[in-house]
Structure formats: structure tokens, C-alpha cells
Amino acid sequence: MTRVLTLWKHGVKTGLLGGLITVLLSLMGMVEAFSQRQIVSDILSMDQSLLGGAVVFMAYFAAKRTTSSHPLWVVINSLTCGFVTAGMLMLLLLIGHVINLRSVFVNASPVLYQLLSFGHGFETALLLFVAAPLCGLFAGILYLLPSAFRKTLIVSLACIVGAGVLQDLLRPTLAAWESLAGLAEWIFSSNGLTEKGAAVLFIPIASITLFWSLKGETVQAGFKTLPSKGQKAIRWAGIAVLIMILLVLPQVLGLFLSEVMTIVGLYVLLGLGLNIVLGYAGLFDLGYVAFFAIGAYVTGVLTSPELGFFNLTFWQALPFAVVMGILAGVLLGIPVLKMRGDYLAIATLGFGEIIRILVLSDFLRPWLGGAQGIGKIPKASIAGFEFGMPQEIYYLILAGCALVIFVSLRLRDSRLGRAWKAVREDEDVAQAMGINLVATKLLAFGTGAGFSALSGAIFATKLTSVYPHSMNVMISINVVCIIIVGGMGSIPGVIVGAIALVGLPELLREFAEYRLFVYGLALVVMMLVRPEGLWPEAVRRREFHEEQFTEENDAPAPAAAASR
Amino acid sequence: MAVLLSSRKTTKRFGGLVAVDELDVEIKEKSIHSIIGPNGAGKTTFFNCVTGFYRPEEGEILLNSHSLVGLMPDQIVRLGIARTYQNIRLFPILTAMENVLVGLHCHLRANYFGILANLPSTRKEEKMAAEEASRLLKFVNMAGKGDLFAKNLPYGEQRRLEIARALATRPKLLLLDEPTAGMNPSETQTMMDFIRHLRDELGITILLIEHQMRVVMGISETVTVLDYGKKIAEGTPEEIKKNPLVIEAYLGKGSVAEAQGAAA
């Protein structure tokens, strides 16, 4: 009996937790807000996929934590988890029926109850006890499947949900191409994917993922057996294709998506710059926005006819902006050279605020514009071509990103990159190995600040104006989050992180209320499930997932001299 | 033989505690010199003074009659003093290869712009550094392990990797802080052979902190004994073994007579 209870425990526990989560999502108003959108027309709406997804997630955990490896117990636990979750939701419905919860929970509306009870009050609410355990069962089966199939299912379902969520963007983008307009009509209905569309999306995605997870290693091994010239050629071809895609992308995507891409691009630029400071050298700089502000304001002051000091062009002002950024980075670096970790974070945080308050101050108003900021900053132009529209500014940002990627790659595997990494790992020992801490740290601060200033300068010409309030601490925090979620020290990680944390919220503006909630959730889940980041450096991935080296060949005698 | 490192009345205090008290030591070129003493005798503090982590309040430390006091650790390592640590301090999430390459840092010349431009001189230097690093890994019997994380290496290899990293700085004087700590007798023996080999083949002077008497007596030419920061004895291992002050420091008063009785 007790054995049964211990085996059952996790199902009940995670079920209660899952219940809490689903109730929370409901009372926060997310369920109601999401109910307007259909993922698959008339079959699956976004709120259902949100709640269902939460149940599947929790039930998967229940299955994973089952102490018995017997498949029956795994399924029982995940089913139980679903059942308990349904019970909690039912409880919410009952309480909501008896007491008016709205005085405390504004979102506990009749619409919410209707959604939770599948439309028709308590008779259909019992369907919860079918739907949630079904989600649980699905999670249990998912857990028991071989990993290749599990990956396939998760990826293809995620793709379908993604396509459904982003339908408003994908449909017009597809429809803009005459030859694809028919396809767009066929895949998307007026709200959500069509059933056929969903199936059509599912099959190719699933087969590609399945092929890759089953045969990926063979393909990679095959690639490795190629002569190194062949490998190089294929790699360069891949990079060339990627560059071509990046170059034509804004023409294909249209105005809105290009605008989103410029915002993501600016954050990529910021992120890659901070990546040198934080990811490589391990210096926790929370005042990174200061250099962004300096870049933007130097550009503004030097170019804006509104102030009328210099009236330089953007290109003439850019070097000054970047150099000022680097100087500021070095100057800030000097007083904090001796600080480590949290102390450094607090000191730099203060520096960021100082810059923001300075540009906001009335004292500097004649030079920096005070709260009104600086307007009429000219657009950048080359030989008559003006970078005005988002599609055009995109290229400016792309060039900036290419530059910072180039610099990062070159520095990473060099003498300096190693010195940075050594400082990150152990400052004292790094110094004892002959690394000049002052020079090394200041180079990191300066390089990072330079890219931040570059980003700021482009930001100024993009908006043609700069305001103090766009230089707030949230930018620094966003950039740090991007690096952490993407993967410390990883260049593709920063790009993926920026897309996930900046791009997606821009695309889902209508759910902007929940942006910070999702941010926090993403950080917590990432730290628990994938602490190394979405796309970590190869080396860092090993750190978290290859502990087996330690067990291997323990201590053969330190015979060195003898063998020589 | 010429004197490589000499300490003259070196004193290091922490508040009221005198960790190293007017220490006079001379380390001869190409010798193996041990410093022993009970826990808290000031051995590691002395190491820290030599390598520039601490600045002694009084006295002088000279390397080839060039004063080290007031220099930063990175300047001192360039002058030819390298060290290892009592509790191994590798760069844990750098590979073994990268650890050794960091040791080579002060012998590489590439600067920021040279690296960005990927100048031929930078490329050549990197290639040579990689060759030297793999040679050093081979030297400490770790060929082929360059790609593993330092923290994932077995204990013995971590010790050897730390020595390889120190050797990469091309030292004249190598300071080893308890190199055989936590090793079994056979591992200890190979480490002793290895230390001797360092001196004989590479001509490196070795200064050693050690607790295992078998090691101290087996390989050192000179032994200095510290107690409460003061030098209480110095001499060949044989002289030290018989010194009543040393026996007292290690075993307490009254044990001197016993030990001598036992010896007789």
C-alpha cells in the first residue's frame, strides 16, 4: 500500500502544481485574452493550447519523476496529474459559481468560466475530466516514446502552434507573393490554420525532424569524413546562402516585419557587444545602456540642426560616437577594476543611471535637450541612397552585426580571448600567468562599449531623434537576459536570444500585458531546464552535459619523466 | 653555485599576526629547495610574497639581485617565477590545451589590431604556441587530452596540467605548493621523479612546500624549516632530521629527548 502511495505521489504533486498554474493563467486573464485566436480553425484555440500545453508540460514532469520505470506507472502518474489539474480547475469553477471572485480577481469573468467549462456550464465542465487526463496521457506516451519520435512530435506541434500564433504575419507575407497567394489561402483560414493546412505543415516538418534525429549523426559523420577542403567549401557555401537570405529578407518580409527585424538587430548588436564583456571576460556590466546613450547622444549633438552645433552628417559623426563610447567604457572601467561579480553589477548599474539622469537634467538642457531630447537627426545616406525606411536601416544594422560578429570571432580564439576567459575563470591565477588585468579588462570594457555606442548611433538615426526615457535600465536588463537565455559567450545564442526575447514580444503586441510575465517565466524555466542557454557554445554545452569524463580513466600515475 | 632568489628579512603581517617574520632564505640556482613547517608556519604566505600576491611590509626579495617587492604578479611571472597552488587552481571550463596556452600568454606578442587583422605574424605565433602547448602536454604525459575540460580531468592529471601551465611561462624558478598532496605512494614516487627530471633536464630551480617527509628528504638538497613565520633551521635533509628545534616544532617539547633516545 505504501509502495503504491510513493509511486503515486509525484503524479498527485505535479498535478496540484499544474492545477495552480492553470488557475493562475486563468485568473491572470491570459486564457480569456488568448481565446480570440484560433490555432487550427474551429478545432484548437490559443487558450486551449496554452492550458493544454501547461498540463502536458506538468504531466511530462510527473512521468519523468516516476520512481518506477514500469510504463504502466508512468502512464498512471501522468494521467493522475491531468486528473488532479482538472479537479483544481473544476474547483475554481465551483468557487466562482458560489462566490463572486471578481472583487479580487478582475479577470474571473463569466467569459472565463464559459471557456473553462467548454461553453455550457456544469454539464460540459465535466469534459475537463476527459480533456486534462487526455493531455496527461499524451505526455505519458510522449515520455515513453523513443527520443527521436518524441523530438519529432514536440517540434512539429510547436511549429504548428507557432504558425497559428503568428498567422497575422505569415498570411499577408505569403499572400504578397502572387504565386504563393493561393497557398496562403489554403493553409490559413480567416482565423487560424485550416485543418488541411495544419496537416500539410505537420507532415513535412515531422518528416524532416524525424530524418534528422534518426540520421543526423550519420550525416554529420559523413560530413566529417569529407576531405577538409570539401568541408570548407560546404561551410562557405552555407554561409554564402545565409548571407543571400539575410540580404533579400527585408524585401520579402515587408514593412512591419522589417521594423521588427531592425529592433531585433539593434539588440543583437548590443547583445554581441555585451557578450564580449560578460560572456568572454565575465565582467557583469549592468550599466551597458550608458554607452548606448552616449553613442546616441553624441550622434544627436553632432548632427542635429535643431541644436546647430556641428551639423555633421551621420557618417562623420559615427566615428566620434564610437570613440566616445570606447572612452567612456575605459573610463568607467578604471574605477571598477578591483570589483568582482555582484559589486561590479551594482557599480555599473549606477553608472547607467548617472548617464540617464545627466541627459535628462535641466543643467545640460542647452546642449543635450533635456527631457525633450534631440530631434531632426539626419538619416544616414551613401551616394544619394538614404537609409530611411526600416527595410533600408536593416542593412545598416546588418553591417553593424557583421562587424561585431567578425570582431568577436577573431578575438575569441586569440591570445586576448584566452586572457579574457582566464580572467572570467579565476582572476588571481590569470594574473599569476602573466596576464595584465588592467589592460585585459579595459580592452573588454572598451570593445563592448564601442559596439553599444555603435548601436546607439544607429538607433538615433533610425528614430531621427533621441530621448532620455529610451535610455532606461530595462535595456541593460534585456540585453543581459538575451545573453543568459541565448547562452553565455555564444554568438548564435545571442541572436536566438534576441529573436526570442525581443522579436517575439514585438510580433505578439496584443499580448503585451503579459510580456514581463513571460520574460520571468522564460528565465526561470531556462535556468531549470536548460541552464546553458538556447544555443550554447559547443564547449559550454559539454560543461553541462558531459560529466562522464570525470569517471573515465581515473588517475593513471603521474608518470611523465619516466616515459620520456 | 650562484644564488637565484634571496629573501632578506622579509616580514608579512596580517593585523597583529606576523605570518612571515624576518625570513632570510637563499635559493641556489638549479637546486631543489624545500620549505617545511607545521600548519600555519607561513610557508604559503611566503610563496604569495614571492609571486607578488602579497606585498611584504619589510625586507626584500631579490631575483638575480633584482627586487620583486612592489611588482604585480604578472610582472613577476615575466621575470621567470611560476607557481602551482596547494588546492589546484586551473581554469575549470577551459580545455587543458587552453590552460597551457594561457600560460604562454606572456611570451606571445599579438596585439589587439594584429589579432583583428589576422596578420601573418599573429597566425605564425598562434601556430607556434599551439605546437609548444601540445609539446608541454606531451611532456607531462597528457598527449591527446588537450580537448578535455580541466575540471573533468582526474586529480593526478589536474596536478600535472597545473605544472604544464606553469612551465609554459618558461620559468627559471618554479614554486610548487604541496605537489604530492592527496597522492598515493606510487603516484608520489612518480611525481618525485618528475620534479627531479624538471631540474635535471630543463635546468629549472625548484622551491617546494611539502608535508610528506619522504618527498622532502628524498629529493631536496636544502631544507628550510619555518615555525610561526620564523626560520628555525636550514640545512641538508640529514642535518634537519637531527635538529632538536625541528623535532620540537613538529612533535612538541619533551619529544626531543624521546626521539634522540629512539635514534640511539
The interface predicted TM-score of the complex, written ipTM, equals 0.91
Which amino acid is it at A374? Answer: I
DSSP 8-state assignment for residue A468? G
pLDDT of A548: 40
Which amino acid is it at A369? Answer: G
Based on the fold, state whether residues B234 and B214 are members of the same structural domain.
Answer: yes
**CATH number of the domain bearing residue B44:** 3.40.50.300
Q: Which of B44, B106, B125, B141 would best serve as a mutation to test chain A binding (most A beta carbons within 10 A)? A: B141
A3 touches chain B (CB under 8 A): no
Which of A407, A553, A558 is opposite residue B194, by nearest beta carbon? A558
Based on the fold, state whether residues B178 and B259 are members of the same structural domain.
Answer: yes
Based on the fold, state whether residues A280 and A321 are members of the same structural domain.
Answer: yes
Based on the fold, state whether residues B48 and B130 are members of the same structural domain.
Answer: no
B92 to chain A, closest Cα gap in Å: 7
Rounded to 5°, the CA angle A487-B154-A283 comes to 30
Based on the fold, state whether residues A506 and A386 are members of the same structural domain.
Answer: yes
Kindly state whether residue A4 falls inside one of the protein's structural domains. Answer: yes
Q: Structurally, how many domains does chain B consist of?
A: 2
Q: Which residues of chain B have pLDDT under 50?
A: 264
Based on the fold, state whether residues B156 and B192 are members of the same structural domain.
Answer: no
Kindly state whether residue A473 falls inside one of the protein's structural domains. Answer: yes
Kindly state whether residue A562 falls inside one of the protein's structural domains. Answer: no
d(CA B10, CA B65): 15
Based on the fold, state whether residues A437 and A290 are members of the same structural domain.
Answer: yes
Which amino acid is it at A114? Answer: Q
Based on the fold, state whether residues B161 and B177 are members of the same structural domain.
Answer: no
Q: What is the pLDDT along chain A (564 residues), one digit of tens a residue?
A: 677 777 788 888 889 999 999 999 899 888 888 888 888 887 888 888 889 999 999 999 888 888 877 888 888 889 999 999 999 999 998 898 888 888 888 888 888 888 888 877 777 888 888 889 999 999 999 998 888 888 888 888 888 888 888 887 888 777 777 777 777 778 888 788 888 888 888 888 888 888 888 887 788 788 778 788 888 888 899 999 999 999 988 888 888 888 999 999 999 999 999 999 999 999 999 999 999 999 999 999 999 988 878 888 999 999 999 999 999 999 999 999 888 888 999 999 999 999 999 999 888 888 888 888 898 888 888 887 888 888 889 999 999 999 999 999 999 989 999 999 999 999 999 999 999 999 999 999 999 999 999 999 999 999 999 999 888 888 999 999 999 888 888 999 999 999 988 988 888 877 778 888 888 888 888 888 788 888 887 765 665 554 444 433 333 333 333 333
Domain interval for residue A40: 1-144
Q: What digits encode the pLDDT tens for the residues B246-258?
A: 888 877 776 666 6
Contacts B148 to A, Cβ<8 Å: 549
Greatest Cα-to-Cα distance within chain A, rounded to the nearest angstrom? 85
Give the residue ranges of DSSP H helices in A304-436. 314-333, 341-360, 365-368, 390-412, 415-425, 427-432
User: Do A470 and A263 meet the contact criterion of CB atoms below 8 Å apart?
Assistant: no
A526 to chain B, closest Cα gap in Å: 21
Based on the fold, state whether residues B44 and B145 are members of the same structural domain.
Answer: no
Which amino acid is it at B214? Answer: R
What is the side-by-side strand order in the sheet with B81-83? B81-83, B173-177, B205-209, B32-36, B222-227, B230-235
pLDDT of B169: 94
- With 0-12 CB in 10 A as exposed, 13-18 as middle and 19+ as buried, what is A196? exposed
Last residue of a domain, one of B137, B169, B201: B169
Q: Structurally, how many domains does chain A consist of?
A: 3
A543 touches chain B (CB under 8 A): yes
Based on the fold, state whether residues B139 and B109 are members of the same structural domain.
Answer: yes
Domain interval for residue B36: 1-80+171-264
pLDDT of A554: 39
Last residue of a domain, one of B139, B169, B199: B169
B140: nearest CA partner in chain A = A560
Beta-bridge mates of residue B205: B173
Beta-bridge mates of residue B149: B95
Based on the fold, state whether residues A372 and A394 are members of the same structural domain.
Answer: yes
Which of A415, A432, A443 is opposite residue B83, by nearest beta carbon? A432
Number of alpha carbons in the 13 Å side-chain half-sphere of residue A534:
19
Q: Which of A414, A451, A552 would best serve as a mutation to test chain B binding (most B beta carbons within 10 A)? A: A414
pLDDT of A107: 84
pLDDT of A558: 39
Last residue of a domain, one of B148, B169, B190: B169
Greatest Cα-to-Cα distance within chain B, rounded to the nearest angstrom? 74
Q: What digits encode the pLDDT tens for the residues B13-38?
A: 998 899 999 999 999 999 999 999 98
pLDDT of A458: 95
Grid cell for residue A208: 524532416
Q: Select from B90, B88, B21 the least CA-distant residue to B58.
A: B21
A416: nearest CA partner in chain B = B112
Kindly state whether residue A296 falls inside one of the protein's structural domains. Answer: yes
B234 to chain A, closest Cα gap in Å: 28
Phi, psi of A405 (to 5 degrees): -65, -45
Grid-cell match 550622434, residue found: A299
Kindly state whether residue A477 falls inside one of the protein's structural domains. Answer: yes
Based on the fold, state whether residues B159 and B214 are members of the same structural domain.
Answer: no
pLDDT of A560: 38
Based on the fold, state whether residues B134 and B6 are members of the same structural domain.
Answer: no
Q: Residues B236, B242, B246, B247: what is their CA dihedral angle, to the nearest 10 degrees?
A: 150
